[in-house]
Amino acid sequence: MLSFAPMEGIGTCYYRRVHRRLFPEGIERYYTPFLSVYPNLAFKKRDLKEITPAEGEPETDTALRKILVPQIMAKNAPEIVWAAQKLTGLGFREINLNLGCPSGTVVRKGGGAGMLADPAALERLLDAVFSDPSFIASGASLSVKTRLGIRDPEEFYDILPIFNRYPICEIILHPRVQQEQYRGTPHRDLFAWALAHTDKPLAYNGDLFTAEDIAAFREEYPQVSHLMLGRGIVSDPVLAREASGGAPLSMPELKRFVLAITEEYAGILDNDRQLLLKLKELWFYMSALLVSDEADITRLIRSLLTARDMGEYRNAVRALYAHGTLGGHFRGI
């Protein structure tokens, strides 16, 4: 199975809607960007849009919701239990707990990967959740998306046994520590160790940027049934299709996708500045696909990413389409 990772600010309901409509092949599960649980036990209004049907929702969006897993950012047992009750009440059966966000701001507040800093506290948290009658009554399955630890990959030697003690339905592992962010090479040796030391489904996430990357991983780890794609699929929206034996992205498809995303966000954002920032964020990844033998493609990409208004942006996109061809790949940041 290939899934779409919970990418904050990118993999929104608006993005998912367009992606699923244009490129339905390959992705079997989508994860929401993390839904923050307020201390007063509530979701932000923005987050509610990720999980609740819109008025007059088309059948395609209803079908998409059936393969959607909400990810939550919560720091204590009451928040997780409340979220489980709320989300199962909306029809979801699995919720994913974010234990991997490497953002310094999130970690300093004790969320995301920050919850790995104290394994004893993590164990107390999971014990409180899985023994709570309200959580049990909710019928929710809890999966976790995690990193190896904070500073040292070997921290995972103490973390994985904690996960093994509880009925977690799946562990999704990005084998880097928080302080590495997305730098360097994932610690595949720790992933292999984890495979040998857990009986829980173990999914892999990290630096799968091309169909060849995915094929090589599957050859090395044939027992892994779930691969989560993040930056790779944002940079190449048909990566899952290609990895499943389908055709690579064509230029007409890229143009249709960019136009559809632009129209989708133009309908909900307040002004052109917000729209421009959103499109630049996506092009930061997608621009890696474009190469050219005759033009300074780096200069053209820079013009797009530094555009000051939508007029400059559109001119830069037209120049990229005119002088670039598909053939490159995102290779990390």
DSSP conformational letter for 149: B
2-4: strand order across its sheet: 35-36, 71-73, 94-99, 141-146, 170-173, 202-205, 227-229, 2-4, 27-31, 68-69
Q: What pTM does this model have?
A: 0.94
The pLDDT assigned to 211 comes to 97
The pLDDT assigned to 96 comes to 98
Taking the chain (333 residues) in consecutive chunks of 10 residues, what is each chunk's mean pLDDT?
95 94 95 91 89 77 90 95 96 96 91 95 97 97 98 97 98 97 95 97 97 97 97 97 96 97 93 96 95 87 95 95 92 83
The pLDDT assigned to 218 comes to 97
- Which tokens hold the place of 279? 């499109």
The pLDDT assigned to 40 comes to 84
Nearest residue to 255 via CA among 312, 322, 330, 332: 322
| CATH dotted code for 2-243 | 3.20.20.70
Helix axes 156-164, 119-130, angle to 10 degrees: 10
The pLDDT assigned to 303 comes to 94
DSSP 60-112: HHHHHHTTEE-EEE--SHHHHHHHHHHHHHTT--EEEEEE----HHHHHTT-G
Q: Domains of the chain: which residue ranges?
A: 2-243, 251-326
Type of residue at 212: E
The pLDDT assigned to 60 comes to 75
The pLDDT assigned to 316 comes to 95
What's the burial of 30, exposed, middle or buried (CB within 10 Å: 0-12/13-18/19+)? buried
**Torsion over CA of 212, 326, 239 and 193, rounded to 10 degrees?**
40
The pLDDT assigned to 292 comes to 87
Q: CA 66 to CA 29: how far, in whole Å?
A: 9
The pLDDT assigned to 294 comes to 76
- Which tokens hold the place of 64? 């998409």
